[in-house]
Chains A and B, each alone.
Chain A
């Protein structure tokens, strides 16, 4: 940009700041025409509104907000004359934006937002929400949008929002943001305050904004500025590093909990019976389909409680898949305990059968899940670290499963039997334990755990008939590494494999990470074939 132009702009901005709010009214017809125009006109209209928003009357802002919302939600129709607000996208008639009269929308064009226009409209909607939002939550949401593109928001908007704000916490946030917006202010003191304000809410973007100031002439000329910038940058880089560390930890933990969920049932089945259950992935898939069934039942019977379906699905998925597991054991596997290779082939056949059964009865498409608020989105915790709810759900779910399974294994008669049979089947039988019954119940427990994994995975992965095949290799890796039959070993191995994957991935890529982890496991098993935690048994 040419220097005289910049000076002129700065003058204009100053003039805007000093002149008291003259409240020039919004040219509503022109604004509507802009939003109905081509891409450039839409951007002009939305950006013009943001620039003028500091001085506009509240009803003008509300009018603009209505139009912008309709445009973003595809409820704006553009006939040859004026603009129509529709009740829903594609409605046959709508209300004229200016007169309120109802007119048919049959021949009207419904504009589609391009990316540039979308950004401008989002900013404008955020501005309107910040200035006229009925409650603090709406205004916070508006502010969050503006924060992303703070460089394009005029100071007048933030000043007006701050003056009008009644919520003390929000007022503080707006003040901080207004400070941070003054990074290129001509006043050195304000600039230093802006650096401190930017550094106070650290992120990768803040780091980039501050780092860009190193090229500023003031950096070499003004020692106070340099000191402030260096201190701010150091603070931000420290915070970003901590945030990245947290993210690695969280990613590792959440991946580990998914691995653990997938492998826990397998560890019990493999440890007890020596059966390599290749259908374990399909049991997970069945658990996810059971969850879907529960969701559909809620939708039919209790639509108001729909958000709770994930919790209600926990016992259903466990019981349903445990029953399938018991049926498989009773029909097929019990005949094959003395022939491990055959049992491996049989479970493979079961897995193929289950995939095709689901494929034929339900179809191959990804299932449509309603994502309740507690498993969708996330919350930015510190610097760039975002805690996503679906992964947190998986972590909590895995922890609960671990505790419950340990309780069953350590504190119940069934657990005692399972441990006895695992350690020495023949001796347990001699002592009168019904080993066949224990086998069946343990297989049911292991399958039920796979069903639970299905519930936990619904909010994270796509659910379709083929989803199980992705888990089987990973879970065997974890079970074998952990030491066959040891639940604690499975947990430690899951943490190890998950953490290693997450640590290696950024360095050498996802493909290499998988290979490196696999090679690592092979090398480890060479030295210690019984895995991390071997169950002691008499030979």
Chain B
């Protein structure tokens, strides 16, 4: 009796706890797209939204008659923020489900683990995050910006007369490839500007780290040393971002004392924080929710309507850059597939050259035949009291992406 109960309970718990890895496909005569975004684990709150945005974009395209006469069918999955699982699910989608393209990954670790899979299977991965660059694969479309078109303009802004004339830099990052590579490039960049090595400090914390008291103390003593205005370059990810911001504000350091440049900080990270004391801290992305223009208004309204109609478990009035980038990805793929008149990866890839798409940020994205990088505009945002970002600066046009950093 006990044996049966135990097995029953465990079985039920396991069923409830682990949703099927891939929601099965059923319709015929459709073209399948696969999503690799976690809806559980540390990245769930951020990545989870992107599944829905991909569906929203696909629905819009289907409403116009689909691509090449076929309706798009979106398969979602849950790699559970477990990096090797991204590769496994990606392989399954490419080999068994025969998806025409994958949309996915947030952290650089997950992208790096999917990379060999898409290369072996000659698949196509659209990666919607800004990232560390130094990578170029014919099987990955880097929809967001490499550091040369996102991080460097923001650091330049802070070092310039419009910013704070920053002279000294405290880098705090999570301990993995993205922060380490970005910081390496930044150090090379500062060296090229003649800034001495004593002007920066570099600290790393484990994933999910939350006890930032000691580090904030160190920031304060670093900032009080002579040598010019200090700033914090923050590359921690996930739940460490709000935890760091809260400690920073609680210790009474304001943005006008030591500004933080949060390179992975999005609108969703400010949920649950009292941003009155954080006003003025900066981020940089290819899209901000506060971007002006009708296209953005329409996108925000579409998302709010979609959340309401489909009962999506995310905030209807928060939109973040990777959501827009994922939306752009689906449209770019659809444009390329329509131009190629085929869903075969080599054909679609050939069609990338010369593609352009007017996205919600107000800029026009363009692709060249040179590589799979996309030209996007750049925004620098400033935290406001309403848990959002004001646009502080935006690039006059969309800079041409530089995949490999000369400063690394």
For residues 235 through 249 of chain A, which have their beta carbon under 8 Å from a beta carbon of chain B? Answer: 244, 247-248
| A346 with B208: CB separation less than 8 A | no
Tally of chain A residues near chain B (CB < 8 A) = 79
Residue A193 is within 8 A (CB to CB) of chain B in the complex: no
**Bound complex: CA A217 to CA B214 (Å):** 37
Minimum CB–CB distance for B323 against chain A, Å:
14
| B220 with A204: CB separation less than 8 A | yes
Q: Which listed segment binds A: B36-44, B68-76, B103-111?
A: B36-44
Minimum CB–CB distance for B332 against chain A, Å:
27
For residues 157 through 210 of chain B, which have their beta carbon under 8 Å from a beta carbon of chain A? Answer: 158, 161-165, 175, 203-206, 208-210
A336-B6 contact given A368-B272, A369-B272, A378-B250, CB 8 Å threshold: yes
Count how many pairs of residues, one from A and one from B, have CB atoms less than 8 Å apart in the complex: 197
Residue A305 is within 8 A (CB to CB) of chain B in the complex: no
- When the two chains form the complex, which single residue of B214, B247, B272, B393 contacts A502, counting CB atoms closer than 8 Å? B214
| A371 with B274: CB separation less than 8 A | yes
In the assembled complex, which residues on chain B have CB atoms less than 8 Å from the CB atom of A203? Answer: 224
Q: Which listed segment binds A: B10-18, B117-125, B126-134, B342-350?
A: B10-18
**Bound complex: CA A349 to CA B12 (Å):** 9
A353-B226 contact given A113-B280, A118-B255, A335-B6, CB 8 Å threshold: no
Find the residue from A207, A365, A502 having the highest chain B CB count within 10 A: A365
**Bound complex: CA A244 to CA B19 (Å):** 49
A353-B272 contact given A115-B164, A207-B224, A511-B204, CB 8 Å threshold: no
Residue B45 is within 8 A (CB to CB) of chain A in the complex: yes
- When the two chains form the complex, which single residue of B14, B257, B277 contacts A148, counting CB atoms closer than 8 Å? B257
Residue B364 is within 8 A (CB to CB) of chain A in the complex: no
Q: Which listed segment binds B: A168-176, A355-363, A410-418, A483-491?
A: A355-363
| B274 with A247: CB separation less than 8 A | no
Minimum CB–CB distance for B365 against chain A, Å:
25
Residue A475 is within 8 A (CB to CB) of chain B in the complex: no
Q: Which listed segment binds A: B21-29, B86-94, B238-246?
A: B238-246
For residues 508 through 537 of chain A, which have their beta carbon under 8 Å from a beta carbon of chain B? Answer: 509-511, 514
Residue A464 is within 8 A (CB to CB) of chain B in the complex: yes
- When the two chains form the complex, which single residue of B256, B271, B386 contacts A365, counting CB atoms closer than 8 Å? B271
Residue A39 is within 8 A (CB to CB) of chain B in the complex: yes
Minimum CB–CB distance for B205 against chain A, Å:
4
Residue A345 is within 8 A (CB to CB) of chain B in the complex: yes
| B48 with A376: CB separation less than 8 A | no
| A462 with B272: CB separation less than 8 A | yes
Residue A397 is within 8 A (CB to CB) of chain B in the complex: no
Q: Can you list, as one digit per residue, whether each of A109-131 has a CB less than 8 Å from chain B (1) or not (0)?
A: 00011111011001000000000
Residue B397 is within 8 A (CB to CB) of chain A in the complex: no
5 additional contacts, CB 8 Å, given A113-B280, A116-B162? A204-B220, A204-B221, A366-B271, A384-B224, A502-B214
Q: List 11 A-B contacts (CB under 8 A).
A: A114-B393, A115-B280, A118-B279, A203-B224, A211-B226, A366-B272, A380-B252, A388-B251, A465-B44, A510-B215, A511-B204
Closest 6 CB pairs of A and B: A204-B224, A352-B17, A349-B13, A366-B272, A119-B256, A510-B205
